[in-house]
Structure 1
Amino acid sequence: MLLKENKIVEKICEIPVTLEDVSESIFEGVSTKNILMHRLLLPEESDSDSYYLCEGLCKPVFSEPEIVYPYISGTFSEKFACSSPYRFMLPYELSEGDKKKEYNVVPPEELEARFPMAYRRIMEFKKQFRHDISPLTSADYSIKGKKLLEYFNTPKIIATEGYHLQAAYDAVGNSVFGDGCGIVLKDPSKYPYVTAVLNSPIARLFPAVCKSEMIFSDYTAPTVLRRFPIVFPDNRLTENLINTVSSYLLFLNRQKYATRYGVPDWLKELAGFYEQISSLLVLDAHFLNDIDPRLLDALEENIHPYAGDMDSEDSDSLLNALYYIKQQILETSGSGKFKFNVGLPGMLSFSTER
């Protein structure tokens, strides 16, 4: 029997646990009156760590790499892995001697002495865009985003809105974002699972869930996203599988984003295969509980955490291993096909044949 979309929305609304319950903090990103001054574009090919492009001035600019960080924009597909051609100049530094981690803006006189390239960049921008030749003050380049600075260099999930809700895991925690929100979990071991849930088809229904609860704000706003319902599987095997597949997708999406001249079809298909596996398992954990037993057996037999460091290993050998695992799953799950025994409405359905 086909589950109707409105029935699924009702089921999701009945889930008692929300993202707020499992999070230490859910917070908005930075805001600034001079985004074009802070936001820099990373050239496709550059041997210099301090060389960037300025969108507003349409010219090369230079800044010390110590105060330039990745900038996440929902315009780009940032699912599972953080990747963006943008950088963000953040003239802030960690305060010394305080027990609580706190980042403060670098005063103009220190900025000129310690980061002269950034100082010249700000002065040039101020003169050409704001037609202001007055002495530099910290108000000219400070930003608003207390929570982001509080959790800077802390691992987090960054949720943004592209075509729909998407989430990337920032393991280092030094990415800056404007739109969307940051999510710091109480239990760090839950990051792979929660990232997978926020990238699953359930996220496509979240706007409908908000509408049913008379919430009409941006659904990536912290006040809204904290109400995102989430279920952790009773079966530890399912959660372990999702965690492992999520780590595969983190690696595969990094490979996709690192491709300069177009992503090859085989890599798209490989990442798409594991994303479908992740979605199947997440949907099953939340409300279907009807996954094909042959597929579950095939996943348990073939999917295991990688023993080494995916970032330091040879990427070609890892890609070959993931392709081999895919083939083994398709062969052992029965005729290369797998599916739920229960139909899904259009918003949640997807092709699973390979």
Structure 2
Amino acid sequence: MFVKQNNIVEQICEIPVTLGDISESIFGGINTQNGLLHRLALPEEGGSDSYYLCEGLCRPVFIEPEIVYPYVSGAFSEKFAFRPSSYRFMLPYELSTVGKKNEYNVIPPEELKTRFPMAYGRILEFKRKFLHDTSPLKSSDYSIKGRRFLEYFNTPKIIATEGYHLQAAYDAEGNHVFENGCGIVLKDPERYAYITAVLNSSIARLFPSVCKSKMAYSSYTAPSVIKRFPIVFPDNRLTEDLIDTISSYLAFLNREKYAKDYGAPDWLRELTSFYEQISNLLVLDTYFINDIDPGLLDALEENIHPYAGDMNSEDSDNILNALYYIKHQILEASSSEKCKFNLGLPEILNFSQNSGEF
């Protein structure tokens, strides 16, 4: 018997634990009125590590790479992993200790001129030519707003953005800069893989309906809104371990897919979709059903294990072959059980439009 979507929303609203309860901090991105100053484009022809394109000045510039960081736009799919961006973000800040806390503070102009002369020269030129301001350089000319962002810069976190819908990627280094969306630092660092999977599951597709039922009409990734995202943890270690491991698979597969952009082959898309459906099935089973087919669960337990090597290594072909083999083994082991993705839930929760078998 199929469950109505309205009933599902009611069930979700009754879940007592929220993302805010399990998070140390949920915060917005940086805010600056000089976006063209801070954001840099990577030249198509490549070049040295210090070679960038300045959108404001409309010409190539050189800036010390030590104060330039990856930039997350969130405009495209960034599920589990970040899509390679043609942009970088200049952040002339440095870590300093204030009491017992580490904070990132803006580098004063005098020090910036000495330590990062190329960045200093570019900011000064930008101010004079683009803003038509010939006054001496001040810290406020290139500072940003985002106290919580700076407090947790270089701290592992999940970055959630909207894109086509709510999506999340894990920033292990914590050095990605984002303007839209939010950063999520969990109290328990062992939960990042699971929470990333949940935020990329079809539970997130119903979150807008949950927000409307609670009269929350801001952006779904606004910290005050996403902190209400309902969280349910599996009642057994096996399910959570499976989701954690598949989350690592999907981070690798999406990096591979994003690197190939629109040229990603069909088999890679299908392989990624296969593991996304398994992850989604396990999350939905945790939230609503708790009655996954034993044959499927046995097949997953038998075949899905953490990859023994480095999933960030350059030997991607071996990893892809291993993941393809695991898929084949799961299909072989579960075929006689007629395991299905369809759990009798509303269509919005089903990743597979065919609602078919493996």
In 1, Cα distance between equivalents of 2:314 and 2:59: 37
Alignment of 1:21 onto 2:21: yes
Query: Secondary structure at 1:15's aligned position in 2?
Result: coil
Instruction: Go from structure 1 to structure 2 and tell me whether the alpha carbon gap of 1:269 and 1:99 turns closer, same or farther (over 3 Å shift).
Output: same
Cα-to-partner distance string for 1:270-326 (whole Å, 9 max, x where unaligned): 111111111111011011223222221111110001122211361110111001101
Query: Secondary structure at 2:311's aligned position in 1?
Result: coil
Instruction: Go from structure 1 to structure 2 and tell me whether the alpha carbon gap of 1:346 and 1:128 turns closer, same or farther (over 3 Å shift).
Output: farther
8 Å CA contact retained: 2:76, 2:164: no
Query: Secondary structure at 1:347's aligned position in 2?
Result: helix
Q: Aligned partner of 1:163: which letter?
A: Y
Alignment of 1:207 onto 2:214: no
In 2, Cα distance between equivalents of 1:11 and 1:44: 49
8 Å CA contact retained: 2:72, 2:178: yes
Aligned to 1:250: 251
In 1, Cα distance between equivalents of 2:134 and 2:318: 56
Q: Aligned partner of 1:78: which letter?
A: E
Aligned to 2:112: 111
In 2, Cα distance between equivalents of 1:50 and 1:71: 16
Aligned to 1:176: 177
In 2, Cα distance between equivalents of 1:189 and 1:115: 38
Aligned to 2:313: 312
Q: Aligned partner of 1:68: which letter?
A: V
Shift of 1:12: 0.5
Q: Aligned partner of 1:6: which letter?
A: N
In 2, Cα distance between equivalents of 1:110 and 1:212: 52
In 1, Cα distance between equivalents of 2:288 and 2:256: 32
Most deviating of 111-120 and 136-145: 111-120
8 Å CA contact retained: 2:112, 2:119: yes
In 1, Cα distance between equivalents of 2:253 and 2:105: 36
Aligned to 1:264: 265
Aligned to 1:63: 63
In 2, Cα distance between equivalents of 1:186 and 1:316: 35
Provide structure 2 residue ranges, at least 5 long, that are not aligned to the other structure: none
Shift of 1:58: 3.2
Instruction: Go from structure 1 to structure 2 and tell me whether the alpha carbon gap of 1:207 and 1:168 turns closer, same or farther (over 3 Å shift).
Output: same
In 2, Cα distance between equivalents of 1:124 and 1:353: 61
Aligned to 1:51: 51
Shift of 1:267: 1.4
Shift of 1:76: 2.3
In 1, Cα distance between equivalents of 2:152 and 2:234: 28
Aligned to 1:190: 191
Shift of 1:14: 0.7
Aligned to 2:7: 7
In 2, Cα distance between equivalents of 1:55 and 1:273: 40
Give me the identity figure in percent.
Answer: 75
Instruction: Go from structure 1 to structure 2 and tell me whether the alpha carbon gap of 1:261 and 1:214 turns closer, same or farther (over 3 Å shift).
Output: closer
Q: How many residues align?
A: 354
Query: Secondary structure at 1:26's aligned position in 2?
Result: strand
1:1-354 matches, within 5 Å, as 1-83=1-83, 84-95=85-96, 98-259=99-260, 262-312=263-313, 314-334=315-335, 338-340=339-341, 342-351=343-352, 353=357
In 1, Cα distance between equivalents of 2:261 and 2:2: 42
Q: Aligned partner of 2:253: which letter?
A: L
Query: Secondary structure at 1:95's aligned position in 2?
Result: strand
Query: Secondary structure at 1:249's aligned position in 2?
Result: helix
8 Å CA contact retained: 1:292, 1:341: no
Instruction: Go from structure 1 to structure 2 and tell me whether the alpha carbon gap of 1:106 and 1:318 turns closer, same or farther (over 3 Å shift).
Output: same
Question: TM-score, normalized by length of structure 1?
Answer: 0.95
8 Å CA contact retained: 1:290, 1:342: no
Shift of 1:341: 5.9
Cα-to-partner distance string for 1:329-348 (whole Å, 9 max, x where unaligned): 11111169642463221211
8 Å CA contact retained: 1:330, 1:337: no
8 Å CA contact retained: 1:111, 1:118: yes
Provide structure 1 residue ranges, at least 5 long, that are not aligned to the other structure: none
Query: Secondary structure at 2:349's aligned position in 1?
Result: coil
Query: Secondary structure at 1:130's aligned position in 2?
Result: coil
8 Å CA contact retained: 1:24, 1:186: yes
Instruction: Go from structure 1 to structure 2 and tell me whether the alpha carbon gap of 1:209 and 1:91 turns closer, same or farther (over 3 Å shift).
Output: same
Q: Aligned partner of 1:71: which letter?
A: Y
In 1, Cα distance between equivalents of 2:132 and 2:338: 64
Shift of 1:57: 3.3
Instruction: Go from structure 1 to structure 2 and tell me whether the alpha carbon gap of 1:169 and 1:45 turns closer, same or farther (over 3 Å shift).
Output: farther
Query: Secondary structure at 1:102's aligned position in 2?
Result: strand
In 1, Cα distance between equivalents of 2:340 and 2:42: 42
Q: Aligned partner of 1:333: which letter?
A: S
Cα-to-partner distance string for 1:83-136 (whole Å, 9 max, x where unaligned): 332211000001158531111101111111111111122122222321112111
Q: CA RMSD in A?
A: 1.7
Instruction: Go from structure 1 to structure 2 and tell me whether the alpha carbon gap of 1:55 and 1:294 turns closer, same or farther (over 3 Å shift).
Output: farther
8 Å CA contact retained: 1:291, 1:341: no
In 1, Cα distance between equivalents of 2:92 and 2:106: 6
